[in-house]
Chain A
Amino acid sequence: MSQVTSRLISRVILPYRREDAGAPPSLHADYRSTMLRAPRLAPLAIPATLTEVTGPDHAWARLMGPAMADLTVQHRGEPQGQRIVVAGLVLDEQARPVPDTVIEIWQANAAGRYIHSRDDWPAPLDPNFTGVGRVITDAEGRYRFVSIRPGAYPWGNHKNAWRPAHIHLSLLGPAFATRLVTQMYFPDDPLIEIDPIANAVPMPYRQRLVARFDIGTTVPNWALGYRFDIVLKGRDQTPFEEEHDDH
């Protein structure tokens, strides 16, 4: 292979897709904090460069440390609450697995209280539960973690506002372009229907955020199981060839 050819190949940038119809808008007036924080100007579309299609790949352990897949064993005793297993796949838009990628997890305790000094509503803290973890997908894109079901909690968006029970999930994916922070909700939670954050996602896509109870993931005599797959932005199959002066 000539040097020129190798340079051309290395310059082919396979872009990631832009957000799909399920993406929430930045401004969603029912979620009041967006009113002063959402940009008012439309984001500027730029072509993908090396900056957007690269990412820290396999460096998660070096950056964040080893996996913490069981949120119920981080303290002296067991946390209060319903023990759960959450498992699923991380996929791209072509349903191909995304292997060796980190999922960071944080959540409230069974009473709906976060271990955070700015969360001071009168629900009990649990000395045996922090509510933080991280897992890494295997070669088939699978992940699994153990936790307790978080409680709902009130917040100040409007009078008598309550967030549905949820688990926060953060993914880097393979590139700067695939960064995703989301929340997983539980089936049969009536609060989802009236939650302005969940409902910033238009229907039916909001339902992508609702996990499925699964008897196959449930562990007999031990924990209820939920399935939740995470789909990151994908890339189109065919790279488009860029024009070059020396071509």
Chain B
Amino acid sequence: MTTDLEALNAAPRLDNQDPTLFGQTPSQTVGPFFHYGLPWKGGADLVGRSDLGARPDLMPPEHFLLATSGVSGAPQGEVIEIAGGIYDGQGTPLNDVMVEIWHANAAGRYASDEDGREEVPLDPHFVGFGRGATDANGIWRFRTIRPGRVPGPGNTLQAPHIALSVLGRGLLKRLATRLYFADGEGNGDDPILALVPPERRDTLIARRRPDGVWWLDIVLQGENETVFFDL
């Protein structure tokens, strides 16, 4: 009598498929080599057709297989540029980090099934998600539109803000933070800013430079450490 070899499978072991281990897949670092896999050309340009966000200088051209931005037309709202440095605990700028943004359109509506407020218009030319690598000097940069206000908990209204994710070598988990505008309507009543100790609120507030860019440095560690959120 022979074994039914075709019916055999490898012996079960404690691994991804073990039902006793079922739960959130743990996060791992994005590492230093994400550039040819994640930030596409125009990923950091939510309003135009530039290559902003990608780093094609870090790979041979025949190995840049990512998409080019699919922007369909000009979105409503004030076009803005947001940018800043990212620094480690010694103040060294980090040229191998990735930043993502997520924010509402100019009217204050998210392009997401979960935001079902039909009384606030969607913008067919605006998604609100962007991704970009820091440049050789450790600067992140996006072109987008200034978002409108969206509701907060209870009857509150949040001040205009942009949600940011920071990923990089040495970061085992995505770091989530927010960008607010120094002249933002409702900053004083924002329900999330109100939870931040007053002396740390400035780490979330972008200031307009003379060249018009809204600037926000992100400090991963140490003095003036950016406020990151547990979501």
Question: Which residues on A are within 8 Å of B, measured CB to CB?
Answer: 10-11, 13, 16-26, 28, 31, 33-59, 61-65, 68, 74-75, 88, 93, 95, 104-106, 108, 114-119, 127, 130-132, 168, 170, 172, 174-177, 179-184, 187, 197-198, 200-201, 204-216, 227-233, 242-246
Q: Evaluate whether A93 and B66 lie within 8 angstroms (CB atoms) in the complex, with A39-B228, A170-B38, A215-B9 already known.
A: no
Contacting residue for A207 out of B16, B67, B89, B158, CB 8 A: B16
Q: Do A106 and B38 touch (CB < 8 A)?
A: yes
- Residues in B with CB closer than 8 Å to A28 are 172
A132 to B117, CA, bound (A): 37
Q: Do A228 and B16 touch (CB < 8 A)?
A: yes
Interface range on chain B (Cβ under 8 Å from partner): 35 or more
- Residues in A with CB closer than 8 Å to B102 are 51, 54-56, 176
Q: Do A74 and B65 touch (CB < 8 A)?
A: yes
Contacting residue for B231 out of A22, A37, A48, CB 8 A: A48
B1 within 8 A of A: no
Q: Do B155 and A227 touch (CB < 8 A)?
A: no
A63 to B37, CA, bound (A): 14
Q: Do B220 and A62 touch (CB < 8 A)?
A: no
Interface residues of B in 145-198 (CB under 8 A from A): 150-155, 158, 161, 163, 165, 167-176, 178, 191-192, 195-196
Q: Do A53 and B152 touch (CB < 8 A)?
A: no
* A–B pairs, 19, beta carbons within 8 Å: A11-B151, A20-B23, A20-B24, A22-B26, A39-B175, A43-B228, A47-B153, A59-B127, A106-B38, A127-B62, A132-B36, A132-B65, A176-B102, A176-B176, A176-B231, A179-B100, A207-B15, A208-B16, A209-B26
A231 to B24, CA, bound (A): 5
Q: Do B27 and A180 touch (CB < 8 A)?
A: yes
Q: Do A179 and B15 touch (CB < 8 A)?
A: no
Interface residues of B in 1-28 (CB under 8 A from A): 8-10, 12-18, 21-28
A131 to B64, CA, bound (A): 10
Distance (Å) between the CB of A86 and the closest chain B CB? 11
B142 within 8 A of A: no
B230 within 8 A of A: yes
Contacting residue for A62 out of B62, B100, B127, B222, CB 8 A: B127
- Residues in A with CB closer than 8 Å to B104 are 50-51
B212 within 8 A of A: no
Contacting residue for B112 out of A55, A105, A132, A179, CB 8 A: A55
Distance (Å) between the CB of B26 and the closest chain A CB? 4
Q: Do A245 and B155 touch (CB < 8 A)?
A: yes
A35 to B81, CA, bound (A): 32
- Residues in B with CB closer than 8 Å to A176 are 102, 163, 165, 176, 231
